[in-house]
Structure 1
Amino acid sequence: MSKRLSRRAFLRKGTVAAASSLAFPMVLKAATLARGQPGPNSRINIGLIGNGLIMGGHRAYYRGREHTVVAAVCDVYQNRMESALQECRQENSACDGYLDYEEVLERSDIDAVVIATPDHWHAALAIAAMKAGKDVYVEKPMTLTIEEGKAVVEAQKRYGRILQVGSQQRSESAFRKAAEIVRNGWIGQVREVYCGLGEFPAASVYPEQPIPEGFNYDKWLGPTPWEPYNENRVASDYGGGWRNFWEYGSRKNGDWGAHHYDITQWALDRDDSGPVFFAPKNYDQEYQYYEYDDGIRVIRDWGDRKGHMIRFVGDEGEVLVSRQNRLDTTPVSLAGKPLSPDSIRLYKSTDHRANWIESIYTRKDPICPASVGHRSATICQLAGISERINRPIKWDPIAQQIVDDPKAALWQDRPRRDGYQLPV
């Protein structure tokens, strides 16, 4: 089949054409992407870095689109890399596999990369990829630390690349509608927001095991402290695994919090700001929470969410929202109320990945760029810091600095192992 598609043939594919309210081009010319604005009539060459659980969905997506080619896969597990390579060669026999991400970034024909590693590798990979002229889709949370987030935002500006954070709830219609209801004041002044994150089991001290053949454990650890290998430490498991450990993530704050706190930011019009106070459990109430400067309190795992993920409580009504486009409101009529010509309308995307692809072509920001992903991740990180040190912390969202607590402020960044410094 020819790689060249007529506009009509392309639009019949449907997915990207419906991705957002912006017009989408035909297909993209890989050779011109590194220079900025791409030309028409060629596909994007994509490299997939970190082929664990979440990347399975990305592989299936980008393999199945006429406008993208999976040209490279990479993982520090040789068997995982080889399995992904075999899968991707069904569509592209020229796809190559790599154990080291540096080799992917060295390829001038790779236009963009998807990063789906554990959280502790997100920042370094995103910065290195943008420095190499690649556009980036990075899974949430965008970074592991606050200072990493600042560095990624700066790199995105310096290198002029497109970066989309995988906070895909922004591309689901129910979450957008919920945020528009709140933004337009239909439930009055928001007083509280309840977010359901759940709990991970406590991380354990595991006995040392032999490092499996074909696994570069040192590189998997990357910038984090050396710890003896155990399969439970590195496991890809949505219910725990590496997500249990502070070294590699922010536990549930960085897991579901990266989704629900992101939607809360969006609905409250705080994408360029953030809360001012974070409290651990049992500070002045049983549950962990944070507050904005206008007194809105966001409480984790508390309150009757009536089976939903997020509940916005206003003085004139409520909005409850979950995945699978579940939306309930009080009064009930709000859920179906149309926006008027003068209503606030939020960025519309119905396909998070396609929104990224469109942005690669237009060079316009995607729905969750680095600046937004950083602010949402900062909430996850600050909540995690408060939880770890077991005391409240104050945050200046303008200066982006913990205030009145020099010891807590040290947690805004973490030491990195030699050889794994953050790129610039």
Structure 2
Amino acid sequence: MPHASSRRHFIQAAAAGVAAPFILPSRLWSQSANGKIRMGFIGLGKQMGGLISKFLQYPEIEVVAVCDVYDVRRDLYKKKVDDHYAKSGGNAKPCETTGDFRKITERTDIDAVCIATPDHWHAIITNSALSHGKDVYCEKPLTHNIHEAVSVVETVQKHNRVLQTGSMQRSSKEFRIACELVRNGVIGKVERITISIGDPAKPNAYPEEPKPEGLDWDMWCGPAPLVPFNHELCPVGESKTFPNWRKTREFGGGMITDWGAHHIDIAQWGLGMDENGPVEVKAPADYQNAKRGCQLIYASGAVLSHAEGSHGCTFHGTEGEVNVGRGKFALSLGGKEVHAFHGKDQSTGTSVDREVALAERDFLKDKKVSLYESKDQIADFVACMKSRKQPICHAGVGASSAIACHLMNFGYWYGANIKWNPTEHKFISGGDDKWLTREYRGDWKV
């Protein structure tokens, strides 16, 4: 469990990151013979397909190893990497494969890793990579529980590494401008935020199915309980769909952590609550059956509510509203839409880029608050590995957004009405410290 000193370290490090750019010592990668940043990729499901394709586009990156507990996917990704370099005339050595992440995180000739495993593995692999001198790109949510979030931030600080969380909406202009409108008071004082992110997680109940050859199921489960194999948790063969492990409490956190790691993240960005968080959780009345209705309350009095609707985040202020989703944006003042794009089926003769640009021109010309501008999450990570500056969604940001998601889940799982200290990461009332962590199986620990 995180101790008081650990929590103080977390918030002190966070405050330092806000006060000034966090610049790490220069030249912290191995400098292979061709001067490239050598990377390993861990967790080769559907999400990794897009990630590794993006990293392969950067000439300064050299993909040298891939890891998965399923040999089918190791072979597929090895071929993907080898074919890329064969066509581009790049890497002469064949991509190496392994079923044990430690053979990547502990290699001295690898500089950085990309992690896209199920959530229950994130913190263990991330901490291993960080403690062995590697920079990390880890998919969201950054961790499976609150204890792990504190641990990852501490490990980043201890080893002076760059970590980027894959909450990539921060690298889309509509989300940044929406948050700048809020932060600059364009809609007045924020009274509430509504988000739509899908259902909370339930305990795993998938029945046992025959395990495919070449899959190390014990390793797949790792620190989580050893449950029966089912293709809903781990698709057979190449993973062409997003699997349902994320809907289980053992391995994920439902859509509360899956989509919440996007939209709760944006809510906290707009509220100025990065590396901070809510002070209270209000559970829905019928929490055992509820799929909506949990609330997070911030020190300002702003109430974030999990509501029905399409994926998105809406800030409700005393003077207006800002709604933002992927490819959608709407600014309303005094009850009237000023700039809006609700999608091609509803808004004609304009685009999200145009409406966002107009809102920026009309209302942010003399802005006092400018947020970190990134146009691409991976490009930002690559640039920060070279500059040694904090990326847009560094460990403190990824951790605090994940913690807010975990707190919301407590409302659904336990019916808990919680008073919370977001800087000490502890319950004031209404919670149980055992919720902050999990029972780790075998020798796996955080």
Q: 1:201 to 1:380 in 2, by over 3 A?
A: closer
Alignment of 1:388-399 (within 5 A): 388-399=413-424
Q: Structure 1 CA distance, aligned partners of 2:419 and 2:137?
A: 31
Moved more, 231-240 or 171-180: 231-240
> Per-residue deviation at 1:386?
1.8
Give a deviation string over 1:8-65, Cα, whole Å, max 9, x none: xxxxxxxxxxxxxxxxxxxxxxx95347xx7998321111100101100011111222
Relative distance call for 1:99 and 1:158 in structure 2 (3 A) is: same
What's 2:49 paired with?
Answer: 56
Match of 1:353 in 2: 378
Q: Which residue, out of 27, 30, 33, partners 2:28?
A: 33
- 1:272: Cα distance to partner? 2.2
What are the residue-to-residue correspondences of 1:44-123 with 2, within 5 Å? 44-90=37-83, 91=85, 92-94=91-93, 95-123=95-123
Contact 2:127-2:152 at 8 Å conserved across structures: yes
Change beyond 3 A, Cα 1:138–1:86? same
Correspondence 1:329 to 2:331? yes
Query: Residue 232 of structure 2 aligns to a residue in which SS?
Result: helix
Q: State the 1:175 CA deviation.
A: 0.2
Letter in 2 for 1:340: K
Which residue does the alignment assign to 2:227? Answer: 227
CA contact (8 A) 2:106 2:128 kept: no
Cα offset for 1:308? 6.2
The equivalent position to 2:312 in structure 1, one of 301, 305, 309, is: 309
> In 1, Cα distance between the equivalents of 2:172 and 2:125?
27
CA RMSD of aligned residues (A): 2.4
Structure 1's 113 and 216: CA in aligned 2 closer, same or farther, altered over 3 A? same
Give me the identity figure in percent: 38
Which blocks of at least 5 consecutive residues in structure 2 are unaligned? 1-25, 86-90, 340-357
SS at match of 1:340: coil
| Residue pair 2:105, 2:125 contacting (<8 A) in 1 also | no
1:421 paired to 2:445: yes
In the alignment, structure 1 residue 299 sits paired with structure 2 residue 301: no
Counterpart residue identity of residue 329, structure 1: L
Bigger shift: residues 168-177 or 384-393: 384-393
1:165 aligns with 2:146: no
Describe the shift of the 1:283–1:199 C-alpha distance in structure 2 as closer, same or farther (beyond 3 A): closer
Aligned ranges 1:15-34 → 2 under 5 Å: 32-34=27-29
8 Å CA contact 1:32–1:39 kept in 2: the answer is no
Aligned residue for 2:423, secondary structure, equals coil
Bigger mean CA deviation after superposition, 99-108 or 153-162: 99-108
Shift in alpha-carbon separation, 1:93–1:262, aligned structure 2, 3 A = same
Match runs of 1:114-263 below 5 Å: 114-199=114-199, 205-235=205-235, 241-263=244-266
The alignment partner of 1:51 has SS state of coil
CA contact (8 A) 1:206 1:232 kept: yes
**Change beyond 3 A, Cα 1:117–1:189:** same
Per the alignment, do residues 34 and 387 of structure 1 end up closer, same or farther by CA in structure 2, a change over 3 Å counting?
same
Cα distance per residue 1:227-280 (max 9 Å; x no partner): 222222334686651012101111111010010000111110011211111122
| TM superposition score normalised by structure 2 | 0.81
Instruction: Give the AA of the match of 2:407.
Output: L
Deviation at 1:205, TM superposition (A): 2.5
Change (3 A) 1:292 1:200: closer
| Amino acid paired to 2:263 | H
Contact 2:201/2:255 (8 A) holds in 1 = no
TM-score by length of 1: 0.85
Which residue number in structure 1 is paired with residue 365 of structure 2?
340
User: 1:22 matched to which residue of 2?
Assistant: none
Contact map agreement 1:47 1:114 (CA 8 A) in 2: yes
Q: Which residue of 1 aligns with 2:5?
A: none
1:354 aligned counterpart, secondary structure: helix
CA distance in 2, matches of 1:33, 1:421: 27
